[in-house]
Amino acid sequence: RGYPPQENYLFLGDYVDRGKRSLETICLLFAYKVKYPENFFLLRGNHESPSICRIYGFYDECKSRYSIKTWKTFCDVFNYMPACALIADKVICMHGGLSQDMMDANVDLRNKINAMQRPADIPDQGFLCDLLWSDPSENTVGFGPNDRGVSVSFGVDTVNQFLKLHDFDLIVRAHQVVEDGYEFFAQRGLVTIFSAPNYCGEFDNAASVLHIDAE
């Protein structure tokens, strides 16, 4: 629809480890953030973590093209990135998904999100881990184990309960390659957005972008 600052942009994470040009990708995104800080927003994905991007390509790219110090500096920046965003107080966005820590009716979720401490390492479990790692699953009721071996999976019932509890209209997340670039879950209560076509040269997936207007 347009470039910032005419339009606001929100990205959902995993800017590195997605091919041979991670450095160009992350530098361009950071440059946009510096130039348009009020119109350009970058959430953290599970690959914006030293333990993950050390293994899946970004470390090797930094080391071969520049230095290990370059990689460490990026990792320091990753620790400052936010993990969750709200749009018009009706749409909640994250890279991964829901957490059991978000289901307590006695906790003000919006305050909990705003109170998240940064910089932060990604823990092995809990609120921040789930925001970056959890997945929806048709086979899960409530919360259950995740096939990744990290975080949790959550079912349709959990999505519906969460939306009603916190008065949201939609959950927007990424984290899973989907054939059409987007995929709805829980009667359109959640949508997975994947914006990397032909993912890593191994998939024949399309890419998508979600546009939300004032209406």
Active site residues: 47
Whole-angstrom distance, CA of residue 102 vs CA of residue 87: 17
Whole-angstrom distance, CA of residue 32 vs CA of residue 55: 27
Whole-angstrom distance, CA of residue 100 vs CA of residue 11: 24
Strand order of the β-sheet with 170-173 is 84-87, 91-94, 170-173, 190-193, 182-185
Q: How far from 131 is each of 100, 120, 153, CA to CA, in Å?
A: 10, 13, 11
Q: What does the DSSP assignment read for 45-111?
A: -TTSSHHHHTTSSHHHHHHHHS-HHHHHHHHHHHTTS-SEEEETTTEEEESS---GGG--TTS-HHH
Whole-angstrom distance, CA of residue 77 vs CA of residue 90: 28
142 near 154, Cβ under 8 Å?
Answer: yes
Angle, alpha carbons 100-101-103 (nearest 5°) = 70
